[in-house]
């Protein structure tokens, strides 16, 4: 059960909407699922010659049918990173990239739908290079075609609570998709029980993120005064470009800013400032082009050779429907480069529209993330025009603990009406990576609030991993 403290003394009552229980087995014990999860996959043609790949895992709970548990759509970042690949086998799916069952998986709490989007990502593909999405509007319209087809064919999911979860650039896409889906449900053009969206370390306001990089790194002793001045200078260049609506230039300067940061921080890891690991890159891609450099840093590192071999080998053979001309990740660089003009555009206004429409919005962020640091997230939240923002801001955040005996804070949480924010401590950009190798399972008395459930799941996993390493 999650606990929070009042007046310094642990209170024996659950926090928020549901009762959560976490069991941590002895190290080395692997919790098997009740049975092999039921899974389906396929393609949907979202536009002529544009094909979107999806992979569905039904919830696999020993005591509940999948119809009693929510459905979660998982959206990866990039753009161009594969949810069916990276999100599935590196983060939250039932098997890891060694094809071994995970100690824990979200399938114990929900059915999970992975989609390779925008088209060209992962196993998704286009037959014409002019059909790659170039803006959020196209990404959203393609997803509406997919969701309409999915729910019309998988009618068993029409009444199940449906949530959109996302990571990084996936959060920007999730915001736009959530708003369009809400309107479609209201109009009756798509039949589903849409309940809300969760935005994990999400690229909602690129400028706010960039402007916070210098202060964040300086406050964590990763920049000196000279380095801070250099990072601040290039951040102002980006701001000037955005103010002039020169978004392509802003993306190019964004890459320059990251180069300046690497030079001044001894190559800090953008996804976890405490991790010095350098992302894998293939030597054939070491070209002196700014877009290639950005692609390598933010998409290629999710297509490591081991995952590439898995997806284009055993997984391709298992799926049996991948066209001979399609290679997993083969068009991902095209996806990234075609979104260059849209990449640095903010979607704060879309969050405002979601909140005004009473759609549940949950934001969660890892303390050690740089690329989308928490300072930047807090900055764009302060820009919301949501009438209840003042009330949200006045709320006292609550520390979350895994057990009443715990003295180490795992996270903080604040919520008001249909908006919530989780500050997840000791986690980086890929918050969900914390789940890997963790021996824990979750049982929930209530699962109406799948966003809260999954966020609490992440917090518990983070706490357990870091405690076991101490």
The catalytic site residues sit at 168, 369, 429
| Secondary structure (3-state) at 245 | coil
Following CA atoms 102, 450, 109, 80 in sequence, which dihedral angle do they give, to the nearest 10 degrees? -40
Q: Is 28 exposed, middle or buried (0-12, 13-18, 19+ CB in 10 A)?
A: exposed
Beta strands of 117-249 (E only): which ranges?
Answer: 125-126, 161-167, 193-200
> First and final CA of the chain: distance in angstroms?
22
Strand partners, 43: 53
Q: Are 452 and 18 in contact (CB under 8 A)?
A: yes
Q: Closest Cα to residue 195, out of 437, 361, 67, 49? A: 361
Following CA atoms 18, 19, 24, 30 in sequence, which dihedral angle do they give, to the nearest 10 degrees? -60
Cα four-point dihedral sign 398, 403, 405, 410: negative
Q: Closest Cα to residue 305, out of 288, 285, 322? A: 285
């Amino acid at each position: 059960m999650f606990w929070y403290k009042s007046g310094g003394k642990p209170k024996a009552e659950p926090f928020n909407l549901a009762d959560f229980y976490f069991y941590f087995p002895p190290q080395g014990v692997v919790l098997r699922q009740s049975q092999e999860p039921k899974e389906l996959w396929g393609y949907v043609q979202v536009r002529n010659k544009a094909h979107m790949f999806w992979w569905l895992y039904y919830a696999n709970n020993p005591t509940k049918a999948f119809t009693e548990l929510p459905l979660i759509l998982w959206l990866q970042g990039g753009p161009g990173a594969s949810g069916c690949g990276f999100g599935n086998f590196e983060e939250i799916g039932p098997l890891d990239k060694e094809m071994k069952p995970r100690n824990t998986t979200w399938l114990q709490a929900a059915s999970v739908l992975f989609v390779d989007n925008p088209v060209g990502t992962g196993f998704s593909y286009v037959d014409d290079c002019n059909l790659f999405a170039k803006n959020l509007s196209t990404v959203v319209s393609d997803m509406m075609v997919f969701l309409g087809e999915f729910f019309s064919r998988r009618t068993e999911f029409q009444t199940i609570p449906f949530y959109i979860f996302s990571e990084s650039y996936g959060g920007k896409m999730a915001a736009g998709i959530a708003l369009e889906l809400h309107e479609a449900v209201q109009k009756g053009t798509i039949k589903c029980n849409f309940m809300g969206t969760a935005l994990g370390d999400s690229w909602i306001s690129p400028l706010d993120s960039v402007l916070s990089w210098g202060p964040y790194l300086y406050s964590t002793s990763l920049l000196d005064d000279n380095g801070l001045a250099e990072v601040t200078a290039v951040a102002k260049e980006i701001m000037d470009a955005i103010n002039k609506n020169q978004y392509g230039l802003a993306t190019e300067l964004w890459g320059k800013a990251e180069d300046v940061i690497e030079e001044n921080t001894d190559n800090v890891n953008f996804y976890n400032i405490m991790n010095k690991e350098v992302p894998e890159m293939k030597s054939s891609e070491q070209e002196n082009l700014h877009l290639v450099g950005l692609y390598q840093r933010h998409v290629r590192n999710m297509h490591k050779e081991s995952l590439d071999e898995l997806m284009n080998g055993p997984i391709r053979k298992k799926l049996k429907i991948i066209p001979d001309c399609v290679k997993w990740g083969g068009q991902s660089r095209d996806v990234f480069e075609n979104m260059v003009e849209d990449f640095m555009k903010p979607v704060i206004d879309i969050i405002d529209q979601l909140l005004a429409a009473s759609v549940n919005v949950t934001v969660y962020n890892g303390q050690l993330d740089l690329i989308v640091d928490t300072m930047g997230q807090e900055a764009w939240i302060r820009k919301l025009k949501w009438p209840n923002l003042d009330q949200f801001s006045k709320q006292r955040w609550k520390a979350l603990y895994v057990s009443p005996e715990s003295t180490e804070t795992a996270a903080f949480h604040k919520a008001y009406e249909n908006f919530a924010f989780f500050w997840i401590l000791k986690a980086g950009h890929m918050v969900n990576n914390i789940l890997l190798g963790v021996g824990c399972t979750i049982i929930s008395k209530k699962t109406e609030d799948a966003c809260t459930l999954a966020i609490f799941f992440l917090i518990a996993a983070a706490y357990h991993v870091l405690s076991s390493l101490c």
